[in-house]
Amino acid sequence: MGQIELKQVSKSFGNVEVIPPLDLIIEDGEFVVFVGPSGCGKSTLLRLIAGLEDVTGGHVLIDGKEATLTVPAKRGLAMVFQSYALYPHMSVRKNIAFPLRMAGLDKADQNERVTQAAEVLNLTDYLDRKPGQLSGGQRQRVAIGRAIVREPAAFLFDEPLSNLDAALRVGMRLEISELHKRLKTTMVYVTHDQVEAMTMADKIVVLQAGVIEQVGSPLELYQRPRNTFVAGFIGSPQMNLIDGPEAEKLGAHTIGIRPEHLEISQTEGAWKGKVGVSEHLGSDTFFHVQSSASPEPITVRATGERAFHYGAEVWLSPRPEHLHRFDSKGLRIE
């Protein structure tokens, strides 16, 4: 079991309110990702759940039981840190066994569970090495191993992939998703990378300045962002947000259209423009088009073969069914 409930939880450091009171339920077995720009309070929120920070107000419930004042070790949660936080003077085996040793398990049990975890994580050959002799990806796996052996009610991940290089990150992303499918344990994952959020999450919590902007499945957030912040944050490249006359024509303060929902044509369309920089990725091409619709260039995503030279005159047309409309407060208009 691993259901976590936050009731009116708030956090202040001195006079600065980092997290105004918020409510959130994380269901058992869910993979929940907290995502937001740096400084939005997502790590603080995770640390409040872990018990590494005391809440200023409100209640934390784990499996329906009051845990607001419970010490971290007694909450049955395991955490994987951004710096991995491995114990440098202990071998991999001792690192993984540390929580078991602290729990007073006998040697035989410890060994069995360490061996099991090492097999799951492909660490068997490295058990007698020190963390300093491992690569970044391997260290990450040791940190996960140390979390797994405790058989926690939920795993907490604090930006675990941000210290890895791009290729390794994609691999570890898959491994963590795989692990979740296999263990079916609740996982709470903090990241500032919306790609990680979209690919891994069952449920995404978008945070800004300590406030939850939207909670939903990745596709919900992609298809129906509740406000302009979520609209701009989720999706890559970013959604084009257009203010002014073009938006007013549709009865909105701001309209949003994703780069992949724009048609680009040399002959006809809704907005006339000039092609600026083109970015060719092979599979896709991104055109930055300066158009009559908005002062900022509009990003258009086309298939890889399309090509326009710099300064070419083109026409853009949004697909009407994919237009998002927002009012003057930035909230979605249905």
Partner 1 sequence: MATQHSRSAARLMIAPAVTLLLGWMLIPLSMTLFFSFKKYLPMRGDSLENGLDWVGFENYARFVTSSSFWPAVQATLIIVGGVLVVTVILGVILALLLDQEMWGQGIVRILVIAPFFVMPTVSALLWKNMFMDPINGFFAHILKAVGLQPIAFLSQHSLGALVTIVSWQWLPFATLILLTATQSLDREQLEAAEMDGARWQSRFIYIMLPHLARAITVVILIQTIFLLGIFAEILVTTQGSFGTKTLTYLIFQRVLESQNVGLGSAGGVYAIILANIVAIFLMRIVGKNLDA
Contact residues toward partner 1 (CB under 8 A) are 50, 52, 71-73, 77-79, 81-83, 85-90, 98-99, 102-103, 146, 150
Q: Rounded to the nearest whole angstrom, what is the least distance from the CB of residue 148 to partner 1 in the complex?
A: 12
Cα→Cα distances 229→138, 158, 234, 254, Å: 36, 23, 9, 12
Residue closer to partner 1 by CB (options 77, 252) is 77
Q: Rounded to the nearest whole angstrom, what is the least distance from the CB of residue 163 to partner 1 in the complex?
A: 12
Q: Rounded to the nearest whole angstrom, what is the least distance from the CB of residue 31 to partner 1 in the complex?
A: 20
Residue closer to partner 1 by CB (options 69, 219) is 69
Taking each helix axis as running N to C, give the angle between helix 136-148 and helix 92-102, from 0 to 180 degrees, rounded to the nearest 10: 20
Cα→Cα distances 56→46, 48, 270, Å: 14, 10, 53
Q: Rounded to the nearest whole angstrom, what is the least distance from the CB of residue 94 to partner 1 in the complex?
A: 9
Residue closer to partner 1 by CB (options 16, 71) is 71
Residue closer to partner 1 by CB (options 98, 233) is 98
Q: Rounded to the nearest whole angstrom, what is the least distance from the CB of residue 216 to partner 1 in the complex?
A: 29
Which has the closest alpha carbon to 241: 318, 308, 313, 312? 318
Q: Rounded to the nearest whole angstrom, what is the least distance from the CB of residue 73 to partner 1 in the complex?
A: 4
Q: Rounded to the nearest whole angstrom, what is the least distance from the CB of residue 98 to partner 1 in the complex?
A: 5
Paired tokens of 266: 């040399």
Q: Rounded to the nearest whole angstrom, what is the least distance from the CB of residue 299 to partner 1 in the complex?
A: 38
Cβ pair 313, 266 in contact under 8 A: yes
Residue closer to partner 1 by CB (options 86, 234) is 86
Residue closer to partner 1 by CB (options 79, 231) is 79
Residue closer to partner 1 by CB (options 80, 241) is 80
Residue closer to partner 1 by CB (options 154, 252) is 154
Q: Rounded to the nearest whole angstrom, what is the least distance from the CB of residue 87 to partner 1 in the complex?
A: 6
The amino acid occupying position 147 is A
Which has the closest alpha carbon to 256: 316, 183, 318? 318
Which has the closest alpha carbon to 298: 307, 285, 310, 289? 289
Residue closer to partner 1 by CB (options 78, 207) is 78
